[in-house]
A = this chain, B = another copy of it.
Amino acid sequence: VAEPLITFLSDYGLEDEFVGVCHAVMAGICPQARVIDLAHGVRRYDIRQGAVLLAGALPYLPVAVHLAVVDPGVGGPRRAVAVRLDDGRLLVGPDNGLLAPAAQVGGGAVEAVEISASPWRLEPVSATFHGRDLFAPVAAALARGEPLSETGTPLDPAALTGLELPRPRISDGVLVAHVRYIDRFGNLQLNAAEDLLPEATGGGLEIETVGGERHPATRAVAFADVPSGELLVYDDAQQRLSVAVSQGDAAQRLGLALDDELRIRARPS
């Protein structure tokens, strides 16, 4: 039988001991689990970035326990939850919207528990570090096979907190999309897929940013399809429409941030 797998996402960073301590807690409860650090560089308190990152990565991760902690409301009234998705995945984290897009990717939540008083919690539970005291222990308990129902008290899966994200639209043949995610390379993932992109003869597109600036771009498959330094629009590795500068940084070039709107149209020839 394969070793159990836990993936771990947070905004804890790697400068402090937070991530290491959570690893140690999990190793104590489920030594046979492999813990894969998905990312810990989510911007501080940025639930939205964490949520999009997790949901985007999920299809490329095996069915596992997925621990996620971006938790500005820790110690407050927000719920702490563990959730089973329709595809068998288990999510553990704060119920502040962080888990919502991932739950959708996994077919929706089919079972949920509130874990604030979980028998697996580490006592005394601190008011500021539920990663260590609540989320990591419950994730490890699930990894070692503890039934979900034994890790907390039942909760209506339909009551889980959602996350509102902007939606793309077509307006007069122009794709009005938004920046969904910006990666280390400055690549801009949009909240739209290929089917919304206007047809462009010869691949010539034009990107208009909020300020009204217009930038020529090429519809392409790979970065290397356009000369270094030029803009391209491509289907990224998550099958979403993205904007990049070949060997450059599109976020910087276009001056765009998360959720910013941009308009893409066929370039007049």
Residue A135 lies at the interface, judged by CB distance under 8 Å to chain B: no
Interface string of A121-153 (1 = CB under 8 A from B): 000001111001100000000000000000000
Question: Which chain B residues lie closer than 8 Å to A126 at the CB level?
Answer: 236-237
Binding site for B on A (CB under 8 A): 2-3, 5, 7, 9, 12-21, 23-25, 27-28, 31, 34, 36-42, 44-45, 53, 56-57, 60-62, 72-78, 126-129, 132-133, 183-185, 221-225, 234-237, 246-247, 249
A73 to B228 Cα, complex, angstroms:
10
Q: Which residue of B lies closest to A8 (CB)?
A: B20
A237 to B12 Cα, complex, angstroms:
14
How many monomers of this protein are in the complex? 3
Given A75-B225, A76-B223; 4 other pairs, CB 8 A cutoff: A15-B42, A27-B62, A72-B224, A127-B221
Consensus secondary structure, chain A interface: loop
Question: Which chain B residues lie closer than 8 Å to A224 at the CB level?
Answer: 72-78
- Among B7, B61, B77, B132, the residue within 8 A (CB) of A60 is B132
Question: Which chain B residues lie closer than 8 Å to A41 at the CB level?
Answer: 13-16
Are A21 and B184 touching (Cβ within 8 A)?
A: no
Are B7 and A20 touching (Cβ within 8 A)?
A: yes
A to B CB contacts below 8 Å, 28 in the list: A14-B14, A14-B39, A14-B40, A15-B41, A16-B41, A16-B53, A16-B183, A18-B183, A20-B37, A20-B57, A21-B57, A21-B60, A24-B36, A27-B36, A44-B184, A44-B249, A45-B247, A72-B247, A73-B224, A75-B221, A75-B225, A76-B222, A78-B224, A126-B237, A127-B221, A127-B235, A128-B234, A129-B236
Q: Which residue of B lies closest to A5 (CB)?
A: B27
Question: Which chain B residues lie closer than 8 Å to A14 at the CB level?
Answer: 14, 37, 39-41
A127 to B222 Cα, complex, angstroms:
5
Are A185 and B44 touching (Cβ within 8 A)?
A: yes
Q: Which residue of B lies closest to A36 (CB)?
A: B23
Question: Which chain B residues lie closer than 8 Å to A78 at the CB level?
Answer: 224
Are B57 and A38 touching (Cβ within 8 A)?
A: no
How far is the CB of A88 from the nearest CB of chain B, in Å?
A: 15
